[in-house]
Structure formats: structure tokens, C-alpha cells
Chains A and B, each alone.
Chain A
Amino acid sequence: MDFEDSQEEATFRSEARAWLEANVPSEDELAGLDGMARAKFWQKRKAESGWACIRWPQEFGGRDANAIQQVILGQEESKVAAPETGVFGIGQGMAAPTLMTWADEEAKKQFLPRLASGEDIWCQLFSEPAGGSDLAALRTKAEKDGDDWIINGQKIWTSGAHYSDWGILVVRTDPSVPKHKGLTYFYVDMKSPGIEIKPIRQISGEANFNEVYFTDVRIPDSQRLGDVGQGWQVSLTTLMNERASIGAGGGGTKFSTVKKLAETVQINGKPAIEDSHVRARLASWYVQEAGLKYTSYRTLSALSRGAIPGPENSIGKLVGAVKSQDMASFAIDLLEQQGIVRDADADEMFGSLFQDTYMSIPGLRIAGGTDEIMANIIAERVLGLPQEPRMDKGIPFSEVPTGN
């Protein structure tokens, strides 16, 4: 039992580090570029040298690397001042694996290299007002018209729709069959006529998501992935990759920051850190934080010997999100009346970290599978417990009760 790289991993790490150190763009190179342009600049440079999407086959811009090499590259990249490239996450992490599994060679050659190099940005058009946790209850419909399909309906919670070039889309093509059997999967040009994008303002005040309306949007049949009616199966490829890509979140609200806060504020005339209640709460959070960290080490060890990560990775978000929420709430309490101030300039040491965390975590506990869905995944796919009986099994989608 150790934390060392194998010989092969160490070699890869030094190669990655050397390339990163030599190629991370300088501030001069990035001058005048906004966040998106910086991301694209850096992604392009990585792709040109084969350091983007390294797990992909070489022909699509990767270098046939394994999972542990991907992790090592991520670790090394986090140590250098590289531009943030999160905007490519959905395209590279979810759309690309789906294309790789389900698209024909021509489409793979057309799209995958552009995904790797950051030229195209993709979004995910899955959730609907009537289909969240119960995703397959979606109602946006597609009707065949010659070699095209005509799409009508509404998607929701679409991150980055407003700056995306392409979207992956699941729609209903047959409401007369049971719900999982009537779905079909497409990809769509986000500039298509009939697509309207409206930002959704969140309780945090930001607008990271959108509603996307489809009115008689035309998609050629050549942009279908999988057979007509096979959309659910194709979606599962995407969803398996989503779970791996949504992290624990919570950012800077962690044990060390809340402990630091407790050293600076007082309870009963003494530093809060000397209060036994505060110490016990902090200790419990440390145990969770360390537990998550060492669980990830165990996952990395499994990757290192070639295992495939499974549904047990649902733990990170399930534990991490509510932990951050509770810690932020506790930190605000420690600050007493001053704690409700949400102004990045009001506090020299912490800015509005705790208040921002408090307002953002409710979203994280819902995005990419609610806490409850994550617990179901653990119960059903890890522990092997049976599903709840369902009212929508074996009947046409059109006859499923909707409450409306």
C-alpha cells in the first residue's frame, strides 16, 4: 500500500509536466482575450500537440491513453496556471463518448477532432419540465417528414445552450408505445431555425442554465444516433458519462476555510475554535472530507490496475454537496449578524465565499441526479436492491398518468 506512481505512471507524469511547463500560455499571449477565447486558445494548443482528450484514439485527436494517465494529466494541469476549460466538459465528456459509440465513421471524423480542439462547443438537451429525475417521461416530439424530422417542444436546465454550436437531443418519436421504447436520439445544430433560447435565473442570481424551445425545427435523419426507438439506450451512454463528470463542488468551503474562520471569530469572548461544539462539528466534516479524498485514492488505485469506475462514484456528489451546504450555513452562523452580508468586497479574508456556497449548493444537490436519485443508484446498482413498482410499465406513454 503506497501512494507512489508506478514506473510507467512516473514517466508519463514527467512527460506531461514537461509539456505543460513549456506550453502553458503566458499572460502576454492571452492579453485581451475573454474567458471563452482563453479556453479555446489553450484547448487548441493542447490538441495540436496531442494533449487534448488523451484517452481518445489518435485518429480523433487523442493519444490512446488510459484512465490513470488522464487523471495524472489533470493533476499536473491543476498545478500550472492554465486557462479554465470547463466549457468543453459536456461536449468532450458526454457528447463525444456517445458519438464514439453510436455515430458512423463519417460523423466521428467530422465532429470528434473539432471537439478535441475546442472549435465546437456542445450542450445536452435532455431534461424537460415534465422529465427531470424521470427523464424518460420527456414529451418533446419528433415527426418524420421525408428525410427530415420536425421537432416541437421544450427542453430545460440546458447549460451553455446560448454559446453552444451543437446539442445532443432526446425526443419522443412514438407516444403509443411504453415510454422507454418511444424515444430517439439526435444531434442538432444550435443555429437551426426555430430554436429559441431563454436564460433561467437561479436563486444564486446567476443564469447558467437555459430553457430551449423547439418550433418546427428540422433535423436531417442522418443526424440520428441509434435506431428510431432506441433513444433510451443511446442516452444511457451519455448519462453514464455525466455521473463521472459532475464533481463534489462546494469550491472553497471546506474544513480548512471554516476552521480558519473559527479562529477569527469569537464565542462567549473566546475564539470560536476553542468551543467544543465548534470543534466537534469541524471534526465530523473533516472525517467526511478525508473519507471522500481517500475514497478517490481507492478509485484511482482501481483505475491504475485497469478497473472501470462504477456507480459507487455517486458518493462524491451525494456527500460533498450537502456537506458544503451545512458548512456554509455553519460559517454564516459563526459570523452572526455579519454573516448575511453577501458582498465579495465586504470581507477581506473570505469575500462572499460562504454566502455564495449557501446559495449555489441547492442547485448542485439537484443537477445531474438529485440526492434522492443518487441514493437510489447506490441502493439499486451497488447494493442490488429492487426497483420500486412503477405505474408506467408496459402501457403506452400516452396513457401514463401525468397529474395534469
Chain B
Amino acid sequence: MNFEFGEEQNLLRDQARGFLTDNCPPAVVRRVLEGDELYAEDLWQKIVEMGWTAVVIPEEYGGLGLSYLELVVIAEELGRACAPVPFGSSVYLATQALLAAGNETQKGHWLPKLAAGEAIGSFAYAEGNGQTNAASLQTRFEGGKLSGHKVVVADAQISQLMIVVARSASGDGASLYLVPTDQEGVSFEPVKTLDPATNHANVSFNGASAELLGSEGGGWALLEQLLDGAAVLYAWEQLGGSDRCLEMAKEYAMGRYAFGRPIASYQAIKHKLANMYVKNTLARSNAYFGAWALNTGADELPLAAATARVGSTEAYYFSSKENIQTHGGMGYTWEFDCQFYYRRSKVLAVVIGSEGFWQEKLIQASAQADVA
């Protein structure tokens, strides 16, 4: 049994944590949260220089050709730092969509740009309140042109390339389309969200030039595959944030005195923190299995991904809210950093479908996996 990360990944984790401690302290998150920047462009450039956008892209497309085990380590560290960069949109979603379904021309054109940070990718899916599904899709592709409206698309305005889920002209099926954003037919309307350290916009397509990605009408299966992979990667990012919440709560509780002793000595606080630890530990173990399944392309991936995603979503919500609670009134102030994680936990909880969406996927996958 060797259900652990290897030495290379452990070294990478140390390196990534050191890099983010230096280059993404809370002041950077706060700068984006409070200012007009859409993302921390300076940090993003350094992340690109570190090669993190290129990790799983094959060398022939300008990538590093490393494995998903390296990518999840980076995802976790970015989550810990609450980094205000478009890593998930560009790396977990857009890059993955191209790797999964792009033809040689598409891959040859976009992957080197994504790897080198010359392009940022985004992913457009939701169309309004509630779940979007194959039957409800309104965005349409006809004669090489895309028309419709997508809502609350992460990193839309800073992306050069958008992957759009839309209905294909020749039938009812969904397909994925590749849309360069720098064109007349694509317009943005920025939206305010729970987390101003991230950026989102509603996107309108008015006869925008678009290319099919993958097979026509076969997009829903491709989308599911894409979401499964992204679920594992987001689960690691969520886990990083959730673990950081436990650390923050612990640090504060050890130093804060009430009634003559550290609040960390009260069982009400100890049990709260023990609960965070339990949830984070179970989530981590599920995320390990998700990483293994993603990395080996195992048949268990749909079940492993849903399990990792539900576990991390639940853990991060719990840890981020109870971190504020442990900090008491100070945790509710603008001045303290607890808010970063409470905001981000919810943004990441819905980015590729909520907990309920993934619980449903889990049950469907368990029927296929013949769970003992």
C-alpha cells in the first residue's frame, strides 16, 4: 500500500508554499478584494513563470508534461493562500477541455499560449437561477456563430479564450465551443459577487465566431468528463482553504484569553476545532482517492470525483464559518482575514455545481460502480 504522495510532490508542496507565503500574503488578497483590480496580475505572472499553468500540458505543446499529482498539490496551496488568480478557470477547466477534446489545430494554437500565460481561459456554463442542464440550454450555435447569454462567468473579462456550453444547431444535444473573447460578438457586463477578490461577468454572444470542441451533440458526455476532473482539482483547492481556516482558528484560540485562560482550553472550542480536523481529514482522504483516479484515468473517477467534491465543499463551508465564530467579534470585522475564506468557500462551492448537484452525481455514479 502506497497511498501517499511521493518525494517529488512533497518537495513541490514545500516550494509552492514558500512561493505563496512570499508572493501571496493576505495583503495581496486584500488588495484585490478592496481595489479595482480584477485579479492579481503580478502574482499571476509569477505563477506562470513557476510553470504552474503548464503542469499537465504535454511537452509538445509547451507544457511540463507532469502528472495530476503535481497539479493537485499546487491547487491545495493556492487554496490555502486564497490566491486571487484565474487558476481554476484557466487550468482546471479551459486547459482540461482542450486536452480532452481539442483537435490538433486547436491544441497547437491554444495550449502553448495557456502554458506560457499568453492566454487565460474561462468556462461559461450557467444561464440563470438554478441548475442549467442539457434541456434548459438556450445558448445556440448555428452556421459557425454563437448566440445567447451566460451568467456569472468567472474570469470572463480577463480571458482570451472561453469554453462555452451551448446547444448545437443540428439537434438537441449540447456541445462545447471554443470562443476567442476579443471579438465584436462577445460582450461583458461585470457582476458583483460574494467574493470581490474574484471577478465574474455576465457574457452575451451576438453571432460570435466559435469553433466546435469535440464532437457535435456529444458535448454533454464531454462536459461530465470535464466536470469530474475539475471536481477533483477544485476539491484540493477547497481543502487547502479549509485547512488554513483550522490553522487560523487554532492560532487565534491559543492566543485569545477569556475568563483568565486561553479560549482554546474550553471544550466548546476544542470540540469545534476537532470537528474541523475530522471533516478536513476525511475530505483529504477522499481527495487523495480522487487524485489517484484522475491521475490514472480509473473507471472509479466519476464516483471518486463526486465524493472528493462533496467532502471538500462541506468541510470548507464548515471550517470557514466556524473560523469566524472562533474569532468572535473580531472575526466579523473587515480588518480580519477570516472573511476571505468564508467568501471563497461559497464561490468554490458553486463553481461547477453545488453540493446537491454533486450528491446527485455521487448516487448515480455509485449505481454504476457497484459499491460494496
Instruction: Indicate if A385 sits at the interface (CB-CB under 8 A).
Output: yes
Interface positions of B from 313 to 372, Cβ below 8 Å from A: 314, 356, 358-360, 362-363, 366, 371-372
Of the stretches A31-39, A41-49, A295-303, the one at the interface is A295-303
Give Cα A192 to B357, complex, Å.
Answer: 64
Contact B311 A291 (CB under 8 A): yes
Contact B371 A256 (CB under 8 A): yes
Cβ 8 A contact of B261, one of A318, A380, A389: A389
Give Cα A166 to B178, complex, Å.
Answer: 75
Instruction: Indicate if A378 sits at the interface (CB-CB under 8 A).
Output: yes
Give Cα A282 to B360, complex, Å.
Answer: 10
- Chain B residues within an 8 Å CB radius of A1: 2-6, 69, 288, 291-292, 295
Contact B1 A319 (CB under 8 A): no
Instruction: Indicate if A77 sits at the interface (CB-CB under 8 A).
Output: no
Give Cα A384 to B262, complex, Å.
Answer: 13
Instruction: Indicate if A387 sits at the interface (CB-CB under 8 A).
Output: yes
- Size category of the A interface is 35 or more
Instruction: Indicate if B19 sits at the interface (CB-CB under 8 A).
Output: no
Kindly supply a per-residue 1/0 record for chain B positions 1-20, scoring 1 wherever the CB is within 8 Å of any chain A CB and 0 otherwise. 11111100000000000000
Give Cα A297 to B250, complex, Å.
Answer: 27
Instruction: Indicate if B134 sits at the interface (CB-CB under 8 A).
Output: no
Kindly supply a per-residue 1/0 record for chain A positions 213-236, scoring 1 wherever the CB is within 8 Å of any chain B CB and 0 otherwise. 000000000000000000000000
- Chain A residues within an 8 Å CB radius of B21: none
Contact B262 A386 (CB under 8 A): yes
Give Cα A290 to B286, complex, Å.
Answer: 7
Give Cα A403 to B270, complex, Å.
Answer: 26
Given A1-B4, A385-B264, are A294 and B286 also a contact pair (CB < 8 Å)? yes
Given A294-B3, A378-B278, are A385 and B360 also a contact pair (CB < 8 Å)? no
Give Cα A232 to B147, complex, Å.
Answer: 76
Give Cα A256 to B254, complex, Å.
Answer: 42
Closest B residue by C-beta to A385: B264
Q: Closest CB-CB distance, A183 to chain B, in whole Å?
A: 25
Contact A297 B3 (CB under 8 A): yes
- Chain B residues within an 8 Å CB radius of A6: 2
Contact B3 A301 (CB under 8 A): yes
Contact A287 B274 (CB under 8 A): no
Given A379-B271, A383-B273, are A284 and B359 also a contact pair (CB < 8 Å)? yes
Contact A385 B270 (CB under 8 A): yes
Instruction: Indicate if B114 sits at the interface (CB-CB under 8 A).
Output: no
Cβ 8 A contact of A379, one of B270, B286, B372: B270
Q: Closest CB-CB distance, B221 to chain A, in whole Å?
A: 22
User: Which of A259, A300, A385: most chain B Cβ within 10 A?
Assistant: A385
Contact A385 B250 (CB under 8 A): yes
Give Cα A287 to B290, complex, Å.
Answer: 12
Give Cα A5 to B356, complex, Å.
Answer: 37
Give Cα A388 to B200, complex, Å.
Answer: 47
- Chain B residues within an 8 Å CB radius of A282: 363
- Size category of the B interface is 35 or more
- Chain A residues within an 8 Å CB radius of B254: 385-386
Given A375-B270, A385-B273, are A318 and B278 also a contact pair (CB < 8 Å)? yes
Give Cα A301 to B292, complex, Å.
Answer: 14
Contact B273 A379 (CB under 8 A): yes
Kindly supply a per-residue 1/0 record for chain B positions 303-314, scoring 1 wherever the CB is within 8 Å of any chain A CB and 0 otherwise. 000110011001
Given A1-B288, A294-B3, A379-B270, are A287 and B264 also a contact pair (CB < 8 Å)? no
Given A318-B278, A388-B267, are A287 and B4 also a contact pair (CB < 8 Å)? no
Given A297-B1, A372-B267, are A279 and B288 also a contact pair (CB < 8 Å)? no
Q: Tell me how many residue pairs across A and B have CB atoms closer than 8 Å.
A: 157
Contact B3 A283 (CB under 8 A): no
Closest B residue by C-beta to A255: B371
- Chain A residues within an 8 Å CB radius of B314: 284, 287
Contact B289 A294 (CB under 8 A): yes
Give Cα A375 to B276, complex, Å.
Answer: 11
- Chain A residues within an 8 Å CB radius of B307: 286-287, 290-291
Instruction: Indicate if B275 sits at the interface (CB-CB under 8 A).
Output: yes
Contact A298 B278 (CB under 8 A): no
Kindly supply a per-residue 1/0 record for chain A positions 383-404, scoring 1 wherever the CB is within 8 Å of any chain B CB and 0 otherwise. 1111111000000000000000
Given A1-B69, A319-B278, A386-B265, are A283 and B363 also a contact pair (CB < 8 Å)? yes
Interface positions of A from 46 to 98, Cβ below 8 Å from B: 68
Cβ 8 A contact of B282, one of A5, A280, A295, A385: A295
- Chain A residues within an 8 Å CB radius of B289: 290, 294, 297
Q: Closest CB-CB distance, B128 to chain A, in whole Å?
A: 21
Instruction: Indicate if B277 sits at the interface (CB-CB under 8 A).
Output: yes
Q: Closest CB-CB distance, A276 to chain B, in whole Å?
A: 7
Closest B residue by C-beta to A382: B277
Closest A residue by C-beta to B311: A287
Give Cα A301 to B273, complex, Å.
Answer: 26
Contact B1 A276 (CB under 8 A): no
- Chain B residues within an 8 Å CB radius of A385: 250, 253-254, 264-265, 269-270, 273
- Chain A residues within an 8 Å CB radius of B278: 315, 318-319, 378
Contact B1 A300 (CB under 8 A): yes
Contact A288 B282 (CB under 8 A): yes
Contact B371 A372 (CB under 8 A): no
- Chain B residues within an 8 Å CB radius of A329: none
Kindly supply a per-residue 1/0 record for chain A positions 1-29, scoring 1 wherever the CB is within 8 Å of any chain B CB and 0 otherwise. 11111100100000000000000000000
Contact A5 B273 (CB under 8 A): no
- Chain B residues within an 8 Å CB radius of A255: 366, 371
Given A1-B291, A301-B4, are A376 and B282 also a contact pair (CB < 8 Å)? no
- What 5 additional pairs, Cβ within 8 angstroms, besides A1-B69, A380-B270? A5-B1, A291-B311, A304-B2, A386-B265, A388-B265
A-B contact pairs, 26 of them (CB 8 A): A3-B2, A9-B1, A279-B359, A282-B363, A283-B310, A283-B359, A286-B362, A287-B311, A287-B314, A290-B286, A290-B307, A290-B311, A291-B282, A294-B289, A295-B281, A298-B4, A298-B285, A315-B282, A318-B278, A375-B274, A375-B275, A376-B267, A378-B274, A380-B270, A383-B277, A385-B273
By a beta-carbon cutoff of 8 Å, the part of chain A in contact with chain B is: 1-6, 9, 68, 255-256, 259, 273, 276, 279-280, 282-284, 286-288, 290-295, 297-298, 300-302, 304-305, 312, 315, 318-319, 372, 375-376, 378-380, 382-389
Q: Which 4 A-B pairs rank lowest in CB-CB distance, beginning with the nearest?
A: A291-B282, A283-B359, A379-B270, A294-B285
